[in-house]
Amino acid sequence: MALKQRFRNNVTRILEGAGVSFNVLEYTWSEEVHSAVQVAQALEVPPACVFKTLVAEEPSDGTKLVCLIPGPAELDLKAVARLAGVRKAAMATRTEAQRWSGMEPGGISPLGLHRKRCRIFLDVSALDHDRVVVSAGARGWQVCMAACDLVDLLDPDIAPLARSAPR
């Protein structure tokens, strides 16, 4: 696992400003290494500790719903819709997610998005880990931090959001 403390961007400034202890992790991003499970393998951390940030939306009005789930899992859109109190939730397209977040897919961080007018949902399994890994806001960069600090910063709705990925 490559530790890099010199990487600085809005995400690291948010963490520093909040007094959160974190490590910046670097891996070589490519089309071959882009899933959260592949990122976990590249960083030599358990895949269940790497939380991917997915952007869903309420189709009728485009309201964005930011969802964090463990790397090996798939998002349960019905659960998200129930929690958000909407009839249906759908995944935003990669283009929509990038335009809305200002970050490239594969590098979307929940940190920074918490300042946007959106709901943030965190899979309950995050509470099973002392530390979790989330994107640092750029492909090839992740931050490792205490799960409780992530919860404090994001103030997410915490519930079961993930379902096992088919094999």
- Could you list the residue range(s) of the whole structural domain that residue 14 is in? 2-154
Dist. CA 32–CA 108, nearest whole Å = 18
Q: Is the pTM of the predicted complex or chain greater than 0.85?
A: yes
Q: Is residue 163 part of a domain?
A: no
| pLDDT tens-digit map of 60-103 | 888 999 999 999 999 999 999 999 999 999 999 999 999 999 99
Q: Coil, strand or helix: which one is 2?
A: strand
Closest CA to 49 of 68, 33, 32, 67: 68
Which single residue is written with the structure tokens 């977040």? 101
pLDDT in tens, 99-122: 999 999 989 999 988 777 789 999
Amino acid at 113: L
What CATH number is attached to the domain comprising 110? 3.90.960.10
Domain count for the chain, please give it. 1
